[in-house]
């Protein structure tokens, strides 16, 4: 066979394989639509055969775009995306994202040593796993540990991944778009009269719903990203979209009636006023946000805040007083991961409660919960891990193109920290979404530093390379 003919034959083989795969997928889709019309199985097969090949290709060559960005976008909808015994769609996308990102790192060799904050989270996770041996309820501890393992596993993968600036922006856009979409869906439920219960917005389906406190908290990161995009972007289209998204998300936070989310939003805006050079505009945005809250849910919001002292923050004061007694009984090693309700029950009978919060309650405070469940050791690890996570972006200067995202992420962490004082958020996906974006931004910045160093060496010539190396070593 002549060389040219052999070359053409080899070139045709991939095309023939691709055409065959497309033809088979088309036949399966047609069969599903014709023979199984109207059934969930037929719809699933049709979608899998038509969208599946493109999705698999995207997951192999651009996993940040799909499925990771889709995972980020769907996180606010988490609890209403139930797909049966497997759990939720976001859980499936999280597992697929971890696998796709890991394959991408290994195949492209774009991985690096995780930052020190990851080591702190790893130590905390190992301590949680060890506490199973003395947990008051082993079954609960094992179930929560499995959830924590999935979240930390995806975080660990992202902590070793290096991204380009466009890829980082895609991930940030996915997180912001998900927040805006969930807020618009919540506003639609409010307008239709289907989402309000006890004067609070409950986003729900026929089988599941989202806790308003967690729904409000999940919008803090998207709000921070949209606010920074509004102030720093040069694109009028992006600014207009960010402004619309901000209005929708702030109104939705007001409708949830979550005092923890509203406090988190206030602290987040205060941090951005302190750190961002657009502080006057952010102050104006804060006033505008207060006007939106009063216009949408003014009487309800004021009533809930006025009742906070009377009800002890919906019973939280009584829960915390009992939790402190439980901490005194388990201060060293803790009662075991996930065992706060059981330790609470043990201390409940001997604790005076001005407002009866009843038996078997969650901690409603991540640090009190960690102290009771993991003792002083686990509490110290949790505080150090939070601080290490927050400080990951401290080295990014204002001249760096990722500095606006740094401000958004730091502001979101401040807001989520405040939310964590009133709700158990440590195993919520929206919190680890923020952690993952922080570590991805950190790794991308380090790539930029290394790229600039390499450019200096190549431009200045070999005579300067030793000096650059020496200064790097110093």
258 and 398 part of one domain: yes
Same domain, 47 and 186: no
Nearest to 229 by CA among 249, 246, 250, 216: 246
User: With bands split at pLDDT 50, 70 and 90, how would you rate the model's confidence at 23?
Assistant: low
Q: Are residues 77 and 54 in the same domain?
A: no
User: Tens digits of per-residue pLDDT, 188-244?
Assistant: 999 998 888 888 999 998 888 999 999 999 999 999 999 999 999 999 999 999 999
Q: Are residues 36 and 79 both part of a single domain?
A: no
pLDDT: which is higher, 118 or 355: 118
Q: Are residues 179 and 258 in the same domain?
A: yes
Is 45 within the bounds of a domain?
Answer: yes
Question: Where does residue 37 rank: exposed (0-12), middle (13-18), buried (19+ CB within 10 A)?
Answer: exposed
Are both 40 and 173 inside the same structural domain?
no
- Residue 425 CB: number of other CB atoms within 10 A? 21
| 2: in domain | no
Q: Cα torsion for 215, 426, 91, 217, to the nearest 10°?
A: 20
Establish whether the linkage from the previous residue to 186 is cis, with ω within 30° of 0. Answer: no
pLDDT of residue 464: 39
pLDDT confidence band for 348 (50 / 70 / 90): confident
54 and 100 housed in the same domain: no
Same domain membership, residue 41 and residue 177: no
pLDDT at 472 over 70: no
pTM of the predicted model as reported, rounded to 2 decimal places: 0.86
User: Region 48-66: what's the mean pLDDT?
Assistant: 76
For residues 217 and 263, the answer to whether their CB atoms sit within 8 Å is: no
In a domain, 5, yes or no: no
Same domain, yes or no: 26 and 124:
no
Question: What range does the domain containing 262 cover?
Answer: 67-465
In terms of C-beta density within 10 A (0-12 exposed, 13-18 middle, 19 or more buried), how is residue 142 classed? middle
How many distinct structural domains can be found in the chain?
2
What is d(CA 46, CA 57) in angstroms, rounded to the nearest whole number?
Answer: 18
- Give yes or no: residues 57 and 180 share one domain: no
Query: Final residue of a domain: which of 29, 61, 93?
Result: 61
- Co-location of 24 and 149 in the same domain: no
**Same domain for 186 and 270?**
yes
What's the length of the chain?
474
Residue 471 belongs to a domain: no
Residue 455: predicted pLDDT: 35
Strand partners, 82: 88
Report the pLDDT value the prediction gives residue 460, as an integer from 0 to 100.
Answer: 40
Q: What is the mean pLDDT of the chain?
A: 84
């Amino acid at each position: 066979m002549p060389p040219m003919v052999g070359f053409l034959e080899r070139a045709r083989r991939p095309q023939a394989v691709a055409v065959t795969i497309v033809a088979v997928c088309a036949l399966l889709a047609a069969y599903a639509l014709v023979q199984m019309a109207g059934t969930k199985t037929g719809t699933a097969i049709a979608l899998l055969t038509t969208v599946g090949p493109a999705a698999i290709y995207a997951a192999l060559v651009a996993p940040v775009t799909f499925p990771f960005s889709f995972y980020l976008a769907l996180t606010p909808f988490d609890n209403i995306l139930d797909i049966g015994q497997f759990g939720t769609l976001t859980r499936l996308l999280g597992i697929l994202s971890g696998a796709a990102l890991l394959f991408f790192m290994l195949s492209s060799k774009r991985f690096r040593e995780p930052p020190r904050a990851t080591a702190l989270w790893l130590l905390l996770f190992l301590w949680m796993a060890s506490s199973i041996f003395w947990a008051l309820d082993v079954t609960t501890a094992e179930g929560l540990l499995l959830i924590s393992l999935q979240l930390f596993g995806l975080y660990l993968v992202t902590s070793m991944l290096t991204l380009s600036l466009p890829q980082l922006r895609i991930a940030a856009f996915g997180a912001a778009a998900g927040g805006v979409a969930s807020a618009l869906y919540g506003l639609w439920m409010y307008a239709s009269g289907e989402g309000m219960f006890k004067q609070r917005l409950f986003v729900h389906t026929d089988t599941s719903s989202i806790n308003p406190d967690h729904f409000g908290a999940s919008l803090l990161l998207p709000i921070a990203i949209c606010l920074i995009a509004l102030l720093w972007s040069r694109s009028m289209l992006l600014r207009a979209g960010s402004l619309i998204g901000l209005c929708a998300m702030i109104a939705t936070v007001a409708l949830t009636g979550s005092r923890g989310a509203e406090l988190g939003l206030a602290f987040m805006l205060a941090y951005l006023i302190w750190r961002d050079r657009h502080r006057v505009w952010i102050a104006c945005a804060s006033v505008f946000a207060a006007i939106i809250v009063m216009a949408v849910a003014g009487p309800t919001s004021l009533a809930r805040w006025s009742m906070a002292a009377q009800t002890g923050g919906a019973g939280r004061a009584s829960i915390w007083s009992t939790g402190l007694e439980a901490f005194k009984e388990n201060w060293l090693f803790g009662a075991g991961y996930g065992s706060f309700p059981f330790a609470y029950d043990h201390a409940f009978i001997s604790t005076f409660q001005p407002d009866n919060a009843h038996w078997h309650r969650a901690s409603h405070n991540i640090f009190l919960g960690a102290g009771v469940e993991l003792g002083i050791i686990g509490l110290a690890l949790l505080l150090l891990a939070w601080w290490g996570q927050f400080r990951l972006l401290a080295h990014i200067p204002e001249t760096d193109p990722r500095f606006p995202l740094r401000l958004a992420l730091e502001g979101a962490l401040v807001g989520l920290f405040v939310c964590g004082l009133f709700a158990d958020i440590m195993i919520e996906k929206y919190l680890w979404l923020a952690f993952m974006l922080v570590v991805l931004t950190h790794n991308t910045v380090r790539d930029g530093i290394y790229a600039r160093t390499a450019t200096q060496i190549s431009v200045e010539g070999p005579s300067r390379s030793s000096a650059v190396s020496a200064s790097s070593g110093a």
